Amino acid sequence: MSSEPRLSLQDLEVTYTTKHDEVTAVDGVSVDIQSDEIFGVVGESGCGKSTLANTILRLLDDNGEITGGEIRYNGRDLAEMSEKGLSRTVRGREISMVFQDPNTSLDPVYTIGQQLTETIRQHLDVSKQEARERAVQSLDDVGIPSPADRLDDYPHQFSGGMRQRVVIAIALSCNPSLLIADEPTTGLDVSIQAQILDLLKDINENRDTSVVLITHDLGVVAEICDRVGVMYAGNLVEVSPVGVIYNDPKHPYTQDLLKSIPETHDIKEELTVIKGSPPDLRSPPSGCRYHPRCSKVCSEACETGEMPRVYHEGESSVRCYIYDAAENPEYEATTNGTDEQSGEQSQQTKRGEQ
Amino acid sequence: MTTQTQKTTERNESQLRQFAANFIENKLAVVGLFLIVCVALVTVFASQIAPYSPTAQNYNAVLEGPSMAHPFGTDDLGRDIFSRVLFGYQTVMTITTSGVVVAFILGTVTGLTAGYRGGRIDQLLMRSVDVLMAFPSLILALALIAALGPSKWGVALVLGIAYTPIFARVARSEAVSLREEQFIKSLEVRGASQPRIMFRHILPNAVGPLIVTVTLQFAFGILTTATLSFLGVGVQPPDPSLGRMLTDGKDYLDTAWWFSVFPGIAIMIPVIGFNTIGDGLRDTFDPKQVNR
């Protein structure tokens, strides 16, 4: 395990103000992104995944505001940094972002070479010629055939998958140490999706670049992530290594999510679904935000208490009263002791695979 | 390197050719283009084409009808109307061009800033534009000229101010919709500066509607310039001015029709030309027609 996390979110809280209400879209999120990992963030629509991603680079809409917490990156708090300093030294230079739809992520009136060199020359002090060489190199890195020739092509001359590669090439052109990918494969067909995921994995392995992958697709997570954060109603309810998420999920929400994945090899009579819908964040439920839909409500605190704090369980951190000995008397008996080891093991086997 | 540049220019050329092909299909717009090219040539080469000086008076040939010597006839001071029309074009085109350029620059900068920045800046800028727009442009022009005093460059400045709101609105509406585009957001993510995003990325993407506005405003500009001269507050004599000739000629309508009819037709030609080009360009820029 590396010592210093690359990015560390501390009790992050983001609030959108509308005419009538205040909505806390991200509430008390704390997580460390390590320097060599692909960190997945999963959750339903509207649970705050994209807000979380946008918050890291402070790209919230005008009515959104960071109302608490810290974004520690390289010893600085991005939440406190000036807009100018952020643009000059962080955005596109140290932290890059890739969006969902590659078809609209590129300016249609410039060639991709112009767009690549624009970003390169903005952040790095290089001549036009050098910038062009770097641009060719970036395109080559993301697997675009005959990159030197394609530099002068316009975005509309590329296919969707190629365009996403170009977008990733631009994001990587200044060697960022963190890449945030917000649903990078959503608009693409399945075979292209797999290629883009492989590309992200390659980048993570061959460069010193951590990846934060935002997705609603648990399959994508299983494929490439090292650790996963599960979001529900603005809370990060569970953070676990990917093996734990699939084999021994800690939070009832994660468990329910996994049960609701249709399986092709083991055809069930009926698909399990999570009943109800995510809560209205204008007035979030008291106690644990998942309790109205939770099948494992264990104590009164779930319904009426404070929001559960984060409990550390093996390598996982979970926001659930199940892991609070004071609230849940059965806790000691069922899970204590054994888990710590199994978590360790799964981590080791995973490292071994790589 | 050279082959790459060649390829780029070839490709740009082919896109341009595609655009030209779409434009040429619109016959009316081509007629308009032809008219404007004629007017432009005549304007540039006025001193070479004109048979007489626009201010030379000839009391032996007062109010003479069209003839070989004077194709458009002569006016009450015996000046050749054809020559005066040619030089009148020079005046009106200079004024209109400078006016539209001023309006384009002021309006586009205002509109792009308002649309891209949004919020309070948007409110402030666009409400001022609304105030300007609330005045009918002719009344505004008259008031400004009353303050500035009538002169050629005064008229140009007045046009510039009077037409700024139109450019500001077009630019703002484009900026507002482009601001939401993903590529603008990803430019922000890459740390591009605001002026860079506004002028290097939003402006080129908004250029179609702006060009259409430019051509249409040219038509209005010519009309307004002529109107101001007609009312006697525009270009001052002895500078030849098409609107001025209309006023002078109206007293002789029953005896010397050519005195005001030819200047009138002369005003009409570029106005029709710019209008049809504007319509043609608007159709060509329409994304539904551009087959990429």
**pLDDT confidence band for B39 (50 / 70 / 90):** very high
| pLDDT tens-digit series, residues A282-296 | 888 888 888 888 887
User: Contact B262/B199 with Cβ under 8 angstroms?
Assistant: no
Per-domain residue ranges of chain B: 46-57+81-285
SS3 content of chain A, % helix, strand, coil (to 5): 35, 20, 40
The arithmetic mean of pLDDT across residues A254-282, rounded, is 79
| pLDDT tens-digit series, residues B150-178 | 888 889 999 999 999 999 999 999 999 99
* The CATH number of the domain covering residues in B46-57+81-285: 1.10.3720.10
The arithmetic mean of pLDDT across residues A314-324, rounded, is 85
Q: Between β-strands A95-98 and A311-313, what pairing exists: parallel, antiparallel or unpaired? A: unpaired
User: What is the CB neighbour count within 10 angstroms for residue A72?
Assistant: 18
User: What is the CB neighbour count within 10 angstroms for residue B27?
Assistant: 10
Of B4, B5, B191, the CB nearest to A87: B191
Describe the crossing of helices B2-24 and B258-285 by its angle, rounded to 10 degrees. 120
Q: What is the pLDDT of residue A269?
A: 65
Q: What is the pLDDT of residue B274?
A: 94
| pLDDT tens-digit series, residues B260-275 | 899 999 999 999 999 9
Contacts 24+ apart (CB under 8 A), B135-142: B137/B162, B137/B163, B137/B220, B137/B224, B138/B224, B138/B227, B138/B228, B141/B224, B141/B228, B142/B228, B142/B231, B142/B233
Q: What residues of B are in contact with residue A123 (Cβ under 8 Å)?
A: 191
The arithmetic mean of pLDDT across residues B179-185, rounded, is 89
Q: What is the pLDDT of residue A332?
A: 58
Q: What is the pLDDT of residue B10?
A: 58
Assess whether pLDDT exceeds 70 at residue A344: no
Per-domain residue ranges of chain A: 231-353
State pTM to two decimals: 0.80
Asked whether this complex has an ipTM greater than 0.90, the answer is no
Q: What is chain B's alpha carbon radius of gyration, rounded to the nearest angstrom?
A: 23
Q: What is the pLDDT of residue A340?
A: 42
Q: What is the pLDDT of residue A331?
A: 64
Assess whether pLDDT exceeds 80 at residue A353: no
Closest CA to A187 of A171, A155, A164: A164
Assess whether pLDDT exceeds 90 at residue A41: yes
Q: What is the pLDDT of residue A191?
A: 85
Q: What residues of A are in contact with residue B4 (Cβ under 8 Å)?
A: 148-149, 151-152
> How many inter-chain contacts (A to B, CB under 8 Å) are there?
76
User: Contact A178/A209 with Cβ under 8 angstroms?
Assistant: yes
User: A-side interface with B, Cβ within 8 Å?
Assistant: 57, 59, 62, 86-88, 90-93, 96-97, 99-101, 104-111, 118-119, 122-123, 148-149, 151-154, 156, 167, 170-171
Q: What is the pLDDT of residue A328?
A: 72
**pLDDT confidence band for B8 (50 / 70 / 90):** low
Q: What residues of A are in contact with residue B204 (Cβ under 8 Å)?
A: 109-110
Class of domain A231-353: alpha beta
Q: What is the pLDDT of residue A337?
A: 42
Please provide the DSSP assignment of A156-191 as one string.
Answer: GGS-HHHHHHHHHHHHHTT--SEEEEESTTTTS-HH
Q: What residues of A are in contact with residue B181 (Cβ under 8 Å)?
A: 104
Tell which of B8, B16, B190, B291 to mutate to test the A interface (max A CBs under 10 Å): B190
Of B4, B189, B201, the CB nearest to A152: B4
Share of residues in chain A with pLDDT > 70 (%): 90
How many helices, marked H, and strands, marked E, lie in chain A?
13, 12
| pLDDT tens-digit series, residues A195-240 | 889 999 999 998 889 999 999 888 888 889 999 999 998 889 999 9
Contacts 24+ apart (CB under 8 A), B257-263: B258/B65, B258/B66, B258/B72, B258/B73, B258/B81, B259/B63, B259/B73, B259/B75, B259/B76, B259/B81, B262/B72, B262/B73, B262/B81, B262/B82, B262/B85, B263/B81, B263/B84, B263/B85, B263/B88
Q: What average pLDDT is seen over chain A?
A: 84
Assess whether pLDDT exceeds 50 at residue B138: yes
Min Cα–Cα distance to chain B from A236, Å: 24
Verify whether the Cβ–Cβ distance A96 to B193 is below 8 Å.
no
Verify whether the Cβ–Cβ distance B191 to A88 is below 8 Å.
yes
Assess whether pLDDT exceeds 50 at residue A354: no
Neighbouring residues of A111: CB distance < 8 A, sequence distance ≥ 6: A151, A152, A153, A154, B8
Assess whether pLDDT exceeds 80 at residue A341: no
Q: What average pLDDT is seen over chain B?
A: 87
The arithmetic mean of pLDDT across residues B130-142, rounded, is 87
Strands, sheet with A235-241, edge to edge from the N-terminal-most edge strand: A95-98, A178-182, A210-214, A38-42, A227-232, A235-241, A316-318, A311-313
**pLDDT confidence band for A1 (50 / 70 / 90):** very low
**pLDDT confidence band for B199 (50 / 70 / 90):** very high
The arithmetic mean of pLDDT across residues B205-231, rounded, is 91
Does A275 or B198 have the greater pLDDT score?
A: B198
Measured CA to CA, the distance from residue A70 to residue B45 in angstroms comes to 70
Closest CA to A207 of A141, A144, A290: A141
Does A110 or A343 have the greater pLDDT score?
A: A110
Q: What is the pLDDT of residue B6?
A: 53
Q: What is the pLDDT of residue B2?
A: 46
**Dihedral sign computed on CA atoms, order A162, A163, A166, A171:** negative
Min Cα–Cα distance to chain A from B175, Å: 14
Verify whether the Cβ–Cβ distance A118 to B181 is below 8 Å.
no
